[in-house]
Amino acid sequence: MLKFGFRIKTRSGMVVDNLLVTARDRAEAEQKILQIYHHGEILDCHEAQQPLKDDSQGLNFENAIALISREANPEPPSST
């Protein structure tokens, strides 16, 4: 999934910056924006984040538990 940042003009003429939408592609992101802001005009669109990696090294349940466990029990400094 990708994140897209939008700058739009509403039907009343107000400009709205920094609208972030998560979508598979730009067309889907624009469709979501136009569903929320009927009769709005998209002034600018940019990709706000790199695609998320597959779950091969991502955060899964086991990795989350290990991360929480490490934060709860920090290692004492070694005495050398």
In CATH, what number is assigned to the domain containing residue 16?
A: 3.10.20
Q: Which residues contact 33 (CB under 8 A, 6 or more apart)?
A: 6, 8, 19, 21, 40, 42
Work out how many domains the chain is built from and give that number: 1
Higher-confidence residue of 5 and 72: namely 5
Percent of the chain exceeding pLDDT 70 equals: 74
Single-letter residue type at 21: V
* Residue 52 lies inside a defined structural domain of this protein: yes
Is 18 among the domain residues? yes
Task: Tell me the pLDDT tens digit for each residue of 12-41.
Answer: 999 999 999 999 999 999 999 999 999 999
Domain extent, residue 9, equals: 2-72
pTM above 0.75, yes or no: no
